[in-house]
Structure 1
């Protein structure tokens, strides 16, 4: 009953958030719910109000915003609890290797991390898409200002001509200015929402040019060139580290493939280890070692550029 109730609450919050996101995408305007976020915070009650007072709530809310998912912090919490209940149920009904009192909590913890892992994956994917679109956006702004348009007008044109996620972020800058916010504040808010080095360079260049003067069009053109060169270097690094990534995948998948092959060819070959108490711990240790080894290899080959 708890899982059903929490699941229904999460479904309703997700459906409402999806409608809001569709309205923002189709109309190009910030939805009413986001404009009235301060009033909503003041009128929140119950568990949501308690969670909103915690520092972790703001961090989760920021990550959800950066991911572009139609979620809310309360919806993420609900999905986490539902996933934990599902894992607990599976571990209780189908204990694997160990008894239910060991398997059930382990599966509950593992399942509970799935919504957060999906959130972080969606966040990284959206930031990567924004980063890929950003050089073209800088070229667009540079050409627009060379044609005689003001910077604010160029921002609106960029929001109209580009696609999400870049269009949504620049549309938000334009809307914040229309609501009375200064350009400095709107750009700094964008830098906080999009934690990329290139965005910080862009914001710093615009604010510095505003204070000291200079040819902003030329500055943006050179910044776009630098970003493209960094992408080229990043591609070379990925090509050089491709062997290490493939090695990590092969070394991780090989034991699993061999185990499945043994189960298909000789089903009774591994039964002795699975039934023996010490054998169960050896199997669990092997699985944990594979996971740790894969994470270490990924950390080694993931070179920052």
Structure 2
């Protein structure tokens, strides 16, 4: 079947010739394709155990079909809904406070004219992204420690009582949101700075000649210029609302804050690996993935209708 570009049809032979001409680029892309096939598409075969009573001894195929039994258990269970509530509260907090942070930081860095200072700030801010949550959680707990933490030391200097931030129901969620911002803001800033570099410099020059202030140039040139990138990143962020950061919360969670900190990821871990109820855990994961797909699809359609920018 011929490919259509505008009103001109490109014959299949020419398309194949173009593919062959770019064969080395496809070869470079091959590891990425293999990664998604091996770790994302082949494991989808195991999603069927959400509809079975899975026993490792007999295998996936020989396990008995039970329909929506595990989903009924999921929606009628007493532990799933608190985990879902905590997931949504923490994720919306990250979206509200964490999503604008890299945009604001990128706008500020774009206005810095001292290149050495700019590069230093960029390096310091995105360095935490490359550190494991096992290490970062230890740093967070050490800094916020009620006995030897820097934060509580400062609070005591002002005559305040020390606070056990990680073990407090009132402070645990802000700690999760704040530490996530600390880790990811600098890394996400790279994306927005790259989008800013694609804006035509002549627009800034013309605005400066017309007497526009820095704030006006940001408001009327920079923000509209990176709007498509903001929209795409927002779609990804909305899709991740129900997909909590398991590594972060698992390493900071403790018995004192289970009521406010237990999320779907940690709940699935306990049910699936500790209690070895693989079918039920798969049903929880499948429910979460379906909701994420619906959120991404809805946000993408809404964005395409309102702004004209979307993923597809």
Tell me if TM exceeds 0.5: no
Q: Which has the higher contact order (CA 8 A, sep 6+)?
A: 2
The interval holding the TM-score normalised by the smaller chain is: 0.3 to 0.5
TM-score of the superposition, structure 1-length normalised?
A: 0.33
Question: Which protein has the bigger helix share?
Answer: 1
